[in-house]
Amino acid sequence: MTDRSEAIRRPGPGRPSHSEVYERLQIQVNELRKNLGGLPLPEEASDIWKGMWYEEAHHSTALEGNTLVLKQVERLLAEGRAVGNKELNEYLEVRGYGDAAEWVYAQAVRPVGLSRHKQIVTLAEVREIHRAALSPVWEVAPHPNATRAERPGNYREHEIHPFPEGMTPVSSPLIGAEMTAWAQQVNALDPAELHFPDDLASVHCRFEQIHPFLDGNGRTGRLVLNLVLVRLGFPPAIIYKRDRDRYLRALRRADDGVPGPLGAMLARAVLDSLYRFVLPAVAGPARLVPLEALATGDTSEVALRAAANRGRLQATRGGDGRWRSSRRWVDEYLESRYRRVSHSRAGVEETPSPGDEDGSMV
């Protein structure tokens, strides 16, 4: 895992508290399950999963130093084509991660083989994820210190030096027992609990503390995290490379027994996947969804909220205080605004409503 020595920053003023984010996550995922049938199967909505697949493979490998850009990742995963002049191992890292992520999504939604009844995750699944993610690059550039017994999918035999911030990974003879205890902790997770993101952060952090493999623990840990999330009915959490420092600081706080910053980060990442990928695709044009899921590159959530507050956009406000609208209503609002702007430019006299010049078309 990469360096996690920096101290966490306090949330900026005006940011919702952790408990508010957790409550929002619970409400949104419950609505997904009750009103939209939950996460769709990969074969029912391949574009949803493909979009998350590309993003996760790109950003999770970028967190570890991979320099491929998103377009190169998309071409590599979609067409098997290595575009550009990067080192071979960078392409193989992404290819391996992409294969492992695809397996994780399918295995989480429709468990077979390595899964066990009433278990969220098994150690056999963890080892398979590591094998799938690391094997392609290992074939051409294996870890220089690895023994034959430390190939992808096998626990390490080496000791790991303490990280710069002081955390020392588990000694190799204890890995089997510690991973068994870790799996028990994961399988005791209760997604209905409001503090579920904190518990999720704790098990994610504990995996990194154990550091069960010689290499690839960060990538494997994030893949396992998403196996857990998707299996429990949540969209995957994608940690973006721009948030690398914040992620590492949050991991450091979790190391110190304070999982809240990491829990809040994971909760926001799940909500981001829900709003960006899942809800826009599975909600029909008349379905009410949060405004975040209806925002586009041309119309921001802030603009839609302003239009809803003014009564320009047909929307309803739920018990949680959040506005919800539908794609149909948003399209009607945008069409009406286009007509008003067109009439104004054509010289048609119009009396604007108060606040109509607030730039609601962004």
Residues 71 and 159 in one domain: yes
How confident is the model at residue 312, as a pLDDT? 87
Q: Looking at residue 167, what is its pLDDT? A: 82
Beta bridge partners of 325: 289
pLDDT at 345: 58
Half-sphere exposure of 317 (CA within 13 A, CB side): 10
Domain that residue 170 falls in: 18-282
CATH (domain of 190): 1.10.3290.10
Give the pLDDT confidence score for residue 356 in this predicted structure.
41
- C-beta of residue 4 within 8 angstroms of C-beta of residue 248: yes
| Rounded-to-integer distance, Cα 214 and Cα 143, Å | 8
Question: Which stretches within 211-298 are classed as H helix?
Answer: 217-231, 244-255, 260-273, 279-282
Give the pLDDT confidence score for residue 36 in this predicted structure. 87
The verdict on 262 and 315 lying in the same domain is: no
DSSP states of 41-57? PTTT-HHHHHHHHHHHH
Q: In Å, what is the CA distance from 293 to each residue of 70, 273, 323?
A: 22, 10, 11
User: Strands across the sheet with 316-317, in order?
Assistant: 289-290, 323-325, 316-317
pLDDT at position 164: 79
Same domain as 327, residue 188? no
Which distant-in-sequence residues (6+ apart) come within 8 Å of 46 by Cβ? none
Q: Assess whether 189 and 222 both reside in one domain.
A: yes
- Within a domain: residue 355? no
CA distances from 286 to 113, 224, 296, 301, 326 (A): 39, 35, 17, 18, 5
Instruction: Tell me what pLDDT residue 297 has.
Output: 75
Q: Which residues of 197-216 are buried (b: 16+ CB within 10 A; e: fewer)?
A: bbbbbbbbbbbbbbbbbbbb
Has residue 139 been placed in a domain? yes
**For every one of its 362 residues, what pLDDT tens digit does the chain have, with 9 covering 90 and above?**
443 333 333 444 457 888 899 999 999 999 999 988 899 888 777 888 999 999 999 999 999 999 999 999 999 999 998 988 899 999 999 999 999 999 999 999 888 889 998 899 999 999 999 999 999 999 999 999 999 999 999 999 999 988 877 788 999 999 999 999 999 999 999 999 999 999 999 999 999 999 999 999 999 999 999 999 999 999 999 999 999 999 999 999 999 999 999 999 999 999 999 998 998 888 877 777 888 888 887 788 898 888 888 888 988 887 677 788 888 888 888 888 766 656 555 554 444 444 443 433 32
Instruction: Please check whether residues 333 and 261 belong to one and the same domain.
Output: no
Q: Are 77 and 95 in a shared domain?
A: yes
Amino acid at 3: D
Is residue 67 a part of any domain in this protein? yes
Cβ atoms of 108 and 56 within 8 Å: the answer is no
Tokens of 41: 């199967």
Residue bearing tokens 């047909």: 314
